Amino acid sequence: MSDSLSDLSSKSIQEISECSNLKELELLRVKYLGKKGAITKQLKALGKLTPSERPKAGQKINILKEKVQSLIDARKIVLADASIQEKIESSSIDVTLSGRKNNRGNIHPISSILYEIESIFHNSGFRVEDGPEIEDEYHNFTALNIPENHPARAMHDTFYFNANYLLRTHTSPIQIRSMETHGVPIKVIAPGKVYRRDSDITHTPMFHQIEGLVIDKDINFTHLKGMLHQFINTFYKRDMELRFRPSYFPFTEPSAEVDILSKDGSWLEILGCGMVHPKVLENLKIDPEVYTGYAFGMGVERLAMLRHEIKDIRLFYENDLHFLNQFK
Ligand code: DAH
């Protein structure tokens, strides 16, 4: 019996010290000190000893029992600490890790070109005006010297709401609205969306124009030429060659279309312009003998396509991030 007790002692001490988690430790407690545990069994077996052997044997077993109990208690503290430590390590935040990336958006290439053009004209003393996209027939056509049944109306593939209201086909009606509001002299530009029933690689049903209007005493065609040349050079940041081609617009006389010489040697049309037609001024009760002026309207997508060498205008409106991210 004494032998088996010392075996039990060394075995239990070793097992408790090697035990690596609280669950295992509880199993060891049951194994040695539980109701059917090895040490408990030894105590129960005391009855089989002679009365003279009993006290000494009982004392030994009780010493072992207390020892095992205190080893288990001590081990429990160590393992509980370790498990807390492990929990802290596994759930804590590592502040040295690099953060998640947030994708930054950017201004749409057309908007950014609009802002840029606005600022160039703003620096030359132009006021920036706005007008409605749902326009009436008078401002979009009639006041601009395009009366009903005039063939020039057919030049615009108009989206009509009814006989009187439509989606503006150009920014030119803002010329009329600006003069109605501010009178003359006037020096404005008006950027905005315009709409036409047209769609292919160089046309989208919605696109952008910037309208310009300058009315004062003694304004002539050279002022228009000089201003446009200066604008184009500033916009493209180099000395550009311009070509003024005679053209026809009902609201200007004379009228011209302006081409720029592109890097590959071809002429590309970028805007229409001219001296404001006397009839337009008369429609606004402005005396064309006293006031003269020039106007122009340019296609913003055109300028953007030339600047970025883009061949298909529809790319601007497909919202493809591969395309848009190039303009960051
Ligand atoms: N509104 C014309 C268009 O959309 C462009 C234009 C031509 C505007 C001549 C003007 C101008 O102000 O003077 O085709």
Which residue among 55, 90, 125 closes a domain? Answer: 90
Residue pLDDT, tens place only, 116-133: 999 999 999 999 999 999
* Cis-peptide into 254, omega within 30 deg: yes
Which residue among 36, 61, 90 closes a domain? Answer: 90
Domain with residue 153: its CATH number is: 3.30.930.10
Residue nearest to atom 4 of ligand 1 (CA): 170
Instruction: State both tokens at 286.
Output: 């402005």
Q: What is the pLDDT of residue 84?
A: 87
**Which residues make beta-bridge pairs with 256?**
246, 273
The number of the ligand 1 atom at minimal distance from the alpha carbon of 175 is 12
Q: What is the pLDDT of residue 2?
A: 52
pTM of the predicted structure, to 2 decimals: 0.72
Residue among 208, 251, 298, 302 whose CB has most ligand 1 atoms within 8 A, to mutate: 251
Q: Separation of 314 CA from ligand 1 center, angstroms?
A: 22
Ranges of H-type helices in 137-220: 137-140, 173-182
Q: What pLDDT tens digit does each residue of the chain (328 aa) get? A: 455 888 888 999 999 999 988 899 999 999 999 999 999 998 888 888 888 888 888 898 999 999 999 999 999 999 888 888 888 888 877 888 888 888 888 999 999 999 999 999 999 999 999 999 999 999 999 999 998 888 778 778 999 999 999 999 999 999 999 999 999 999 999 999 999 998 888 899 999 999 999 999 999 999 999 999 999 999 999 999 999 999 999 999 999 999 998 888 889 899 999 999 999 999 999 999 999 999 999 999 999 998 998 989 999 999 999 999 999 8
Same domain? 220 vs 288: yes
* Cis-peptide into 185, omega within 30 deg: yes
d(CA 153, CA 110): 28
The number of the ligand 1 atom at minimal distance from the alpha carbon of 294 is 13
Domain interval for residue 151: 109-327
The number of the ligand 1 atom at minimal distance from the alpha carbon of 298 is 5
d(CA 48, CA 263): 114
- 273, 296 contact by CB (below 8 A): yes
d(CA 182, CA 260): 33
Domain count, the chain: 2
User: Which residues line ligand 1 at a C-beta cut-off of 6 Å?
Assistant: 170, 172, 211, 249, 252, 272-274, 295-297
